[in-house]
Amino acid sequence: MLHYVDNIPIFGDPVDLGALLQIKNCATDAAHVALMGDHHKGYGMPIGGVAAYVDKISPAGVGYDIACGNKAVRLDLQYADIENDLPAIADEIWKTLSFGVGRANSEAVDHELFDSETWKDIPFLRNSPNLKELARRQLGTIGSGNHYCDLFKDEDGRIWVGVHFGSRGFGHKVASEFMRLSGSTGNDMDAKPGLLSVNTEEGADYLQAMKLAGEYAYAGRDWVCQKVASTLGARIVKEIHNHHNFAWNEEHFGEDLWVVRKGATPAAPDQKGFVGGSMGDQSVILEGVDSKEAKAVMNSTVHGAGRVMSRTKAAGKARRVKGQIVRISEGLVNMEAVRKRIASQGIQLRGAGADEAPEVYKRLPEVLAHHEPTIRVLHRLDPLVVCMAGSDEFDPYKD
């Protein structure tokens, strides 16, 4: 249930103290802040944090992975149609899609967003011609860390595809530049996020670049979902699509605000969202409901289950030496045992590492229970195929 700490509306118990410190830092400049049930420490602003500003925008609040988000599509398939083909389907998805850091898509993907005048209008983009080409090469790639492409069945045996990733290297470079302009470096996790006035050239440029990164992320997720549907010889019959690292201009508490959601999903009344659990847990399709609790957190909800163990603690320490991963220390998660357990659940797992094991996350049903007054669960999705970048990939994008 919703409770308050120092007048900050918070879902989830116990409260992550690192995340609480960070949202308090944000509150010194923001008009309103809140923490979702999956909150945990991030860079400057906590994951699962919401901060609303008057005439200001926080590039560090949106984060390095601008427009990271989830998309789920329902296919015109039933579980019985593919039940016996899941290993082959998992192999095909893993082979066809591009997982990992810095990867280029094996297929050239074009999109009208590359004709946008924004590439010419914003000095940083205009003076970085290689950035557009990087974006072209990476459109439709999934990346590493907690980014994935999964196949699910719902309570009626209908098949869904779910994906989670953002604007890739393009968004990371845009974020880095405008964080620099705002005075945020990303080196101090607990530093107060820098701000840009939306009425300045820098602030207006950031909003325009953020919007372009959002279009880019949407295009990538659209492409991946369509690619999987085509691979299965299926049609997409329903789509649910949301950013959760973004800023929206909205009205709350009678004010016109820039609402920054970092690892938080917009959930206005009747607005639908896809929220993923861990690789061995259910995911859900949900929608926002009209309630006083929903209004208190500016119609926001979770974007996932929420980490309870750091990547390093789970997987141990490693570093790259001449392009090779060198193990420095072991983590707490026995990934071989995890793979056996996932397989025993009938889930086809490809890639993934100890830092994304179910043990490092809260259970999504328990997190959602905290948000009960603000959301309605429409469908519960059981994982059939889970594809993620392998454990030898390092994720630099600081989701």
* Nearest alpha-carbon partner for 300 in 26, 11, 22, 61: 11
In this prediction the pTM is 0.94
Q: How far apart are CA 310 and CA 326, in angstroms?
A: 19
Q: What is the pLDDT of residues 23-74, one digit of tens each?
A: 999 999 999 999 999 999 999 999 999 999 999 999 999 999 999 999 999 9
Indicate the residue type of 328.
Answer: I
Query: What is the helix (H) or strand (E) element at residue 312, kind and residue range?
Result: helix 311-315
Burial of 197 (0-12, 13-18, 19+ CB in 10 A): middle
Helix 168-182 vs helix 201-231: crossing angle, to nearest 10: 160
Per-residue pLDDT of the chain (399 residues; tens, 9 = 90+): 899 999 999 999 999 999 999 999 999 999 999 999 999 999 999 999 999 999 999 999 999 999 999 999 999 999 999 999 999 999 999 999 999 777 778 787 889 999 999 999 999 999 998 999 999 999 999 999 899 999 999 999 999 999 999 999 999 999 999 999 999 976 788 999 999 999 999 999 999 999 999 999 999 999 999 999 999 999 999 999 999 999 999 999 999 999 999 999 999 999 999 999 999 899 999 999 999 999 999 999 999 999 999 888 998 887 767 766 677 788 999 999 999 999 999 999 999 999 999 999 999 999 999 999 999 999 999 999 999 997 665 444 434
Whether 196 and 56 have beta carbons less than 8 Å apart is answered as yes
Condensed to tens digits (0 to 9), the pLDDT of residues 327-374 reads 778 899 999 999 999 999 999 999 999 999 999 999 999 999 999 999
C-alpha to C-alpha distance for 153 and 282, rounded to whole angstroms = 10
Beta-carbon contacts of 105 under 8 Å, excluding residues fewer than 6 positions away, are: 98, 137, 138, 139, 140, 141
Percent of the chain with pLDDT over 90: 86
Which residue is listed with tokens 């107060």? 192
Q: Give the pLDDT confidence score for residue 84 in this predicted structure.
A: 97
What distance in Å separates the CA atoms of residue 213 and residue 324, rounded to the nearest whole number? 31
Please give the pLDDT value at position 3: 96
The pLDDT value recorded for residue 397 is: 42
CB 30: neighbour CB atoms within 10 A?
26
d(CA 110, CA 18): 42
What is the pLDDT at residue 323?
Answer: 66
Within 10 A of 185 (CB to CB), how many other CB atoms are there? Answer: 14
What whole-number distance in Å separates Cα of residue 268 and Cα of residue 218? 20
Three-state DSSP class for residue 98: coil
pLDDT at residue 87, as a whole number = 98
Return phi, psi of residue 352, to 5°. 75, 160
pLDDT of residue 395: 47
Write down the domain spans for the chain.
3-390
**How much is the pLDDT for 393?**
55
Looking at 3.90.1860.10, 1.10.10.10, 1.10.20.10, 3.30.930.10, the CATH number of the domain 3-390 comes to 3.90.1860.10
d(CA 88, CA 322): 34
